[in-house]
Amino acid sequence: MSETYRNLIGGKWVESATGTTFRNTNPADTSDVVGTFAASGPADIDEAAVAAKAGFEEWSRIPAPVRGDVLKRAGDLLTERKDELADGMTREMGKPLVETRGDVQEAIDTAYYAASEGRRLFSYAAPSELPQKMGVSIRRPAGIFGIITPWNFPIAVPSWKIFPALVCGDAVVWKPAEDTPWSAVKFVEILLEAGLPENVIQLVTGFGPEAGAPLTTHRWVTGISFTGSTAVGCKIAAACGEQAKLVSLEMGGKNAQLVLDDADIELALEGVLWGAFGTTGQRCTATSRLLLQTGIHDEFVDELVQRAEALVLGDGRKRGTDVGPLINEEARDKVAKYVRIGTDEGANLRTGGEIPADKRLAGGWFYRPTIFTGVEPAMRIAQEEIFGPLLSVLMVENLDHGIEVMNDVRYGLSSSIYTQDVNAAFQAIDRVDAGITYVNGPTIGAEAHYPFGGVKDTGNGHREGGWPVYDFFSDLKTVYVDYSGRLQRTQIDT
Ligand code: ADP
């Protein structure tokens, strides 16, 4: 018997007003039911926003360093429960334990960073143009934030948003992905245990159109922080635009790894295997294009295909598993659809392109790591985000051609170049249109304390991680103090 979980509103675990629920299953074995969760609707969001309003009144008055102490305790609890959480997360979304442990570690790093930010949250001061007058900007809590998150990093991505929001003094209504509600419940339990006052965070589970959309239009919600697909992100931005809400979007990618002839080939091979097939290719930073310079192309592909075929597919909770399942049937169908598209476009299917024959994998959403060669830049498999274990290999003549192909997509999240030539590396840093460029490392592997985000259709200019995210979740008030005892007219009496 699996457990039934409820929403958290106003510090209490409550049933959804809709009275309906949904079951969440293990993508490696769909007969394993993780739990039953509330399929919430607009009335639940409304109740959550009312509670968050009360939570904001209280929490925003607590000094930031004290708020930071709560996050320090949350980081300690995440550390204590790292293995137990990772196990449940793998059961819920499939990626191997080594990766879900990394997911929790990222949240731990983010918690400690946010905790220390409670004693910093610097703003700016500048000299006034008038005598006996001071000008300074101070940070204030911004309000109630709607947090809408995906399933591929069930704890890390929410932590990037929720921890900074909390240390800034905001209240939160969180609608996690429908595929990872268990992880969300555990995350919120930790925050409560860490001493977060009731009402400051509300958890409302359910589906996008029913539970996510009403959050983006609720009058008391100050802003939305979203990670997910570009299609949904743009809808959310439109809804937020109607009411002048803040909105931070982290969306699709079509990330490329460029390998020049002079690269350390072994390093580049390890990088692309990890970048393309880690998390079954389901990271927004996953390597979905490999650009190989002509001189190394054939040899590199032969070796890569062999290594991709040696990757062990299976339940991420079993030792020795390299690649887990896709998240659900729809995701696997999407990969299969792109295999047909790539084949029809004339690309050469070198390996994969099918559901594994192994009967032990029949209960889950597995798909073999897939590599296409002979891919041209205009093909759909070189342009569209697939979010699965499908790698498109393109041949490029030189650095300039490589950068041109790299930039020839609508997205701009992550990028990577493998070369021993320092000039080539710096050319790429200058000219690749992406929010992240790795030199001699794969396209995945963001650290919690650096800005994370992308350009073009990947985002709307905001960054998560590091210091810029604190700007999104706080307001700046400028304060002028005139202690001259007379009227001083700015721009006139100077
Ligand atoms: P993914 O491709 O990663 O599943 P989605 O963009 O579909 O990305 O979903 C990301 C998050 O956005 C999920 O929590 C989902 O429920 C939510 N979502 C989906 N549609 C909407 C919508 N119309 N309004 C608000 N949230 C939505």
For residue range 48-81, list pLDDT tens digits in order.
999 999 999 999 999 999 999 999 999 999 999 9
Query: Are the CB atoms for 205 and 38 separated by under 8 Å?
Result: yes
207 pocket-lining for ligand 1 (C-beta < 6 Å):
yes
284 is catalytic: yes
User: DSSP character for 154?
Assistant: T
SS (H, E, C) 87-98: HHHHHHHCCCHH
Q: Burial level of 124, CB count in 10 A (0-12/13-18/19+)? A: exposed
pTM of the predicted model as reported, rounded to 2 decimal places: 0.98
User: Does CATH place domain 3-251+459-478 in 3.40.605.10?
Assistant: yes
Report the pLDDT averaged over residues 404-413: 98
Say if residue 419's pLDDT is above 90. Answer: yes
- Region of 135 (left: φ > 0; alpha: ψ -120 to 50; beta: rest) is beta
The predicted pLDDT at position 2 comes to 83
**Residues facing 293 on adjacent strands:** 396
290 three-state secondary structure? strand
431 pocket-lining for ligand 1 (C-beta < 6 Å):
no
Say if residue 293's pLDDT is above 90. Answer: yes
The predicted pLDDT at position 337 comes to 98
CA of 368 to the centre of ligand 1 (A): 26
Helix or strand holding residue 341 (H, E): helix 329-345
Residue nearest to atom 24 of ligand 1 (CA): 213
Candidate from 232, 251, 411 with most ligand 1 atoms within 8 A of CB, to mutate: 232
What are the pLDDT digits (tens) for 188-227?
999 999 999 999 999 999 999 999 999 999 999 999 999 9
The domain spans of the chain are: 3-251+459-478, 255-439
pLDDT classification of 268: cutoffs 50, 70, 90: very high
Nearest to 313 by CA among 375, 356, 265, 253: 356
Helix or strand holding residue 257 (H, E): strand 255-259
Query: Are the CB atoms for 284 and 426 separated by under 8 Å?
Result: no
177 pocket-lining for ligand 1 (C-beta < 6 Å):
yes
CA of 331 to the centre of ligand 1 (A): 14
Residue nearest to atom 10 of ligand 1 (CA): 228
The CB density around residue 72, as the number of other CB atoms within 10 Å, is 15
CA of 178 to the centre of ligand 1 (A): 9
Of the candidates 47, 284, 385, 464, the residue annotated as catalytic is 284
CA of 66 to the centre of ligand 1 (A): 33
Start-to-end CA distance of the chain, whole Å, equals 76
Helix or strand holding residue 255 (H, E): strand 255-259
pLDDT classification of 1: cutoffs 50, 70, 90: low
CA distance 425 to 420: 8
Residue nearest to atom 1 of ligand 1 (CA): 228
Report the pLDDT averaged over residues 455-481: 97
Question: What's phi and psi for 245, nearest 5 deg?
Answer: -85, 155
Tokens for 434?
């992406």
Tokens for 332?
């696997």
Q: Which CATH number fits domain 255-439: 2.50.20.10, 3.40.50.2000, 3.40.50.11810, 3.40.309.10?
A: 3.40.309.10
Query: Are the CB atoms for 348 and 372 separated by under 8 Å?
Result: yes
Of the candidates 99, 250, 385, 464, the residue annotated as catalytic is 250
The predicted pLDDT at position 494 comes to 82
The predicted pLDDT at position 86 comes to 98
Query: What percent of the chain has a predicted confidence (pLDDT) above 70?
Result: 100
Instruction: Looking at the CA of residue 231, tell me the nearest atom of ligand 1.
Output: 6
Nearest to 281 by CA among 94, 447, 434, 44: 94
Tokens for 466?
């590091």
Residue with tokens 């210091």: 467
The CB density around residue 73, as the number of other CB atoms within 10 Å, is 17
148 pocket-lining for ligand 1 (C-beta < 6 Å):
yes
Report the pLDDT averaged over residues 106-116: 98
CA of 303 to the centre of ligand 1 (A): 38
221 pocket-lining for ligand 1 (C-beta < 6 Å):
no
CA of 149 to the centre of ligand 1 (A): 7
The residues, ordered by sequence, that sit 6+ positions from 335 with a Cβ below 8 Å of its Cβ are: 326, 367, 370, 386, 388, 389, 390
CA distance 152 to 106: 13
CA of 126 to the centre of ligand 1 (A): 42
The CB density around residue 50, as the number of other CB atoms within 10 Å, is 16
209 pocket-lining for ligand 1 (C-beta < 6 Å):
yes
User: DSSP character for 197?
Assistant: P
181 pocket-lining for ligand 1 (C-beta < 6 Å):
no
**Residues facing 390 on adjacent strands:** 370
282 pocket-lining for ligand 1 (C-beta < 6 Å):
no
CA dist list (Å): 457 to 231, 254, 282, 409, 434:
10, 10, 18, 9, 11
Nearest to 289 by CA among 221, 217, 384: 384
Residue nearest to atom 14 of ligand 1 (CA): 177
Say if residue 178's pLDDT is above 90. Answer: yes
Residue nearest to atom 23 of ligand 1 (CA): 209
Helix ranges restricted to H, 82-155: 82-93, 97-117
CA dist list (Å): 156 to 161, 187, 494:
9, 10, 51
